[in-house]
Amino acid sequence: MAKIRAIVNGVSFYTTTAAIKNRTVGDNSLLNSALFFALDCMGKSAGFGRNIAMYDGKMNKVTYDIQLSVMGNAYR
């Protein structure tokens, strides 16, 4: 379990890899899925940034600008 600094659409917050994998970061299921996908793409890197487009139940496009960075030396 590593501590992660996440920036989503300009809003910065701290979370853990366990919270992202369990999809319990927030109340929005699309955001949880987008963070899970970004963490999976990040792999063992120290940081990652990506634009992720998701579609809600009414097929409206929702875009997330996500940056993830590992706090400390968790993967080294």
**pLDDT averaged over 10-residue windows placed end to end, the chain, 76 residues:** 91 94 92 94 88 95 95 63
Asked whether residue 7 is assigned to any structural domain, the reply reads yes
Please report the pLDDT score of residue 43 as a whole number. 86
The sign of the CA dihedral 74, 17, 53, 66 is negative
Asked whether residue 40 is assigned to any structural domain, the reply reads yes
- Tell me how many domains the chain contains: 1
What single-letter amino acid sits at 35? L
Please report the pLDDT score of residue 46 as a whole number. 85
Domain range spanning residue 63? 3-70
Tokens of 48: 């990652």
Please report the pLDDT score of residue 74 as a whole number. 56
User: How far is the C-alpha of 32 from the C-alpha of 49, rounded, in Å?
Assistant: 16
Distance, CA of 62 to chain centre: 15
pTM, two decimal places: 0.87
